[in-house]
């Protein structure tokens, strides 16, 4: 294991409870951004790049050269800022190679005939066990499905960015009820992470500051996660699946689900602008009752 410790800076977006990361090799100055957020005002239909600009400024202040913008999965709660990073730095956008499964699931939902379902909108499709070089650092890709069919985690030495597979120990684990999600696969992915050494540092993608905790948090360890409220006391697969499925059935749909998925499965790109220069997102409507009265 290399003794080269990566520079890590976290950026918390309270509007979506998302943590993005700037990760860099301090020797070669090459950097990676994980799960960048594009600010999106759904009520006004406006986007802003202030969150991404903070990351870009931090990189610039440290003379870091961003060469990758990686997604742990196609997010359902925020839009990706990766295309803006790519436009500003030339960074390659990467995601787990199973994104094609997610694209195939959602293409008919949005009736998006232009959507490619081979993952080719992304610059890099990341496979389990693959090693991506970041200067003198090695990023190992860990396939951790369950929340979605395409989730991956990023391991650098004794550090892992786990995406939505786990939350902080006092909050629990990811939901698995989105199309293509699977609580059994989520359990297996969690066990895969828990097999890592106790001192392995885990960085979360979200935090919701459960009652009783004063501050947001996103850094923990494998040892601490073994006492996660959803998996402590050696919870077995059957009991975890039953708990997760029951809990998921009561959860609300994420507020930004439709715009987020629609954009993120296209590597963060919006549909082409129409003649008036405005980009439009689709909202599927199933008029089961009174169809003749409300649909002309």
The boundaries of the domain holding residue 171 are 7-294
Is residue 44 included in any domain, yes or no? yes
Is residue 251 included in any domain, yes or no? yes
What does the pLDDT read at residue 292?
59
1 against 265, higher pLDDT: 265
137 with 143: CB under 8 angstroms? no
Task: Give the model confidence (pLDDT) of 110-156 as tens digits.
Answer: 998 888 999 999 999 999 999 999 999 999 999 999 999 999 999 99
The two structure tokens encoding residue 15: 């509007």
Task: Give the model confidence (pLDDT) of 37-78 as tens digits.
Answer: 999 999 898 999 999 999 999 999 999 999 999 999 999 999
Rg over CA atoms, the chain: 19
Closest-CA residue to 243 (of 181, 172, 192, 189): 172
Task: Give the model confidence (pLDDT) of 169-194 as tens digits.
Answer: 999 999 999 999 999 999 999 999 99
Is residue 92 included in any domain, yes or no? yes
Whether pLDDT at 2 is above 80: no
Residue with tokens 């991506």: 132
Is residue 24 included in any domain, yes or no? yes
Is residue 2 included in any domain, yes or no? no
10 with 50: CB under 8 angstroms? no
How far apart (Å, rounded) are the C-alpha atoms in residues 192 and 186? 10
- How many domains are contained in the chain? 1
Closest-CA residue to 203 (of 99, 77, 79, 70): 70
Beta-ladder partners of 160: 155, 202
Task: Give the model confidence (pLDDT) of 206-215 as tens digits.
Answer: 999 988 899 9
What does the pLDDT read at residue 249?
96
How far CA 44 is from CA of 41, 148, 151, 263, 269, in Å, comes to 5, 29, 31, 17, 19
Is residue 197 included in any domain, yes or no? yes
Which letter, b or e, does each residue of 169-193 get, where b requires 16 or more Cβ atoms within 10 Å of its Cβ?
A: bbbbbbbbbbebbbbebbbebbeeb
Is residue 1 included in any domain, yes or no? no
The set of residues, in sequence order, having a beta carbon less than 8 Å from that of 252 and lying 6+ positions away, is none
CATH of the domain at 32: 3.60.15.10
What does the pLDDT read at residue 291?
56
Is residue 30 included in any domain, yes or no? yes
Instruction: Say what the pTM is.
Output: 0.94
């Amino acid at each position: 294991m290399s003794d080269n410790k990566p520079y890590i800076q976290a950026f918390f977006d309270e509007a979506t409870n998302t943590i993005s990361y700037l990760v860099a090799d301090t020797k070669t100055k090459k950097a990676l951004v994980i799960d960048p957020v594009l600010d999106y005002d759904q009520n006004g239909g406006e986007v802003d790049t202030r969150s991404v600009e903070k990351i870009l400024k931090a990189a610039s202040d440290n003379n870091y050269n961003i060469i990758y913008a990686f997604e742990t999965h196609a997010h359902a709660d925020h839009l990706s800022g990766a295309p803006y990073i790519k436009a500003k730095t030339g960074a390659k956008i990467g995601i787990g190679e199973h994104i094609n499964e997610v694209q195939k699931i959602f293409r008919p939902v949005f009736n998006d005939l232009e959507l490619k379902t081979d993952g080719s909108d992304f610059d890099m499709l990341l496979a389990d066990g693959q090693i991506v070089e970041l200067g003198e650092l090695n990023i190992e890709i860990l396939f951790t499905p369950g929340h979605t069919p395409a989730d991956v985690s990023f391991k650098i030495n004794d550090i892992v960015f786990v995406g939505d597979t786990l939350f902080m120990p006092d909050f629990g684990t990811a939901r698995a009820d989105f199309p293509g999600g699977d609580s059994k696969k989520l359990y297996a992915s969690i066990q895969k992470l828990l097999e890592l050494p106790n001192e392995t540092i885990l960085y979360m993608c979200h935090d919701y500051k459960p009652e009783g905790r004063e501050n947001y948090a996103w850094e923990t360890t494998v040892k601490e996660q073994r006492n996660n409220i959803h998996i402590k006391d050696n919870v077995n697969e059957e009991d975890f699946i039953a708990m997760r499925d029951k809990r998921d059935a009561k959860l609300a749909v994420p507020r930004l689900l439709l715009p987020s998925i629609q954009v993120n499965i296209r590597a963060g790109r919006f549909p082409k602008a129409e003649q008036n220069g405005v980009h439009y997102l689709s909202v599927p409507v199933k008029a089961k009752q009174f169809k003749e009265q409300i649909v002309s």
